[in-house]
Amino acid sequence: MDQQARAAALVDVFVYVVVLNLFVEYLPGVVTETFTVSLLTAVLLKVVLEVVLLLKGRAVDRFRAAETVPGRIGAGLLLWLVLFGSKFAVLELVDLVFGDRADLGGFLAVSSLIVVLMAARGLVRRLLSPVDESGGRRAH
């Protein structure tokens, strides 16, 4: 992992900590016992969401490459399984790793959390991306 990728991962974790703690503050079902648990939960979320994004990308590639209706249906089901099942995977992993010290609520709370995490990540990455000479943002 190069220095820029490590820096982006670190920024992602900081963004996740902020978003997670806002959820803890405003949603009674989302709980982290301490800041340390919150930080470690953010790291776990970072790892899990990177895996989910990788699997989602592969499922989308399969969907685009499918040339038959059954192939598209199968790839679409795979994509749905990755997106839907990942919420349960996150809930179970947090419970397995942290037990009662962290609780991300139920399916709706964790789904909302993940959407907000990804939106905040995208926004911060966009804000921090270099600007080229014409004033436009360069992709990483």
Whole-number pLDDT of residue 50: 94
138, 29 contact by CB (below 8 A): no
Per domain, the residue ranges of the chain are: 3-128
b/e per residue 51-62 (b: at least 16 CB within 10 A): ebeebbeebeeb
Of the pLDDT bands very low, low, confident and very high (cuts 50, 70, 90), residue 88 is very high
> How much is the average pLDDT of 80-86?
92
Q: pLDDT: is 68 or 132 the higher one?
A: 68
Quote the radius of gyration of the chain (alpha carbons, Å). 17
Where do the DSSP E strands lie in 7-118? 30-32, 102-104
What are the C-alpha distances in Å from 78 to residues 47, 61, 73, 94?
Answer: 21, 11, 9, 24
State CA 72 to chain mean position distance.
25
pTM attached to this predicted model: 0.85
Contact criterion met (CB below 8 Å) for 23 and 113: yes
Specify the pLDDT at position 133: 66
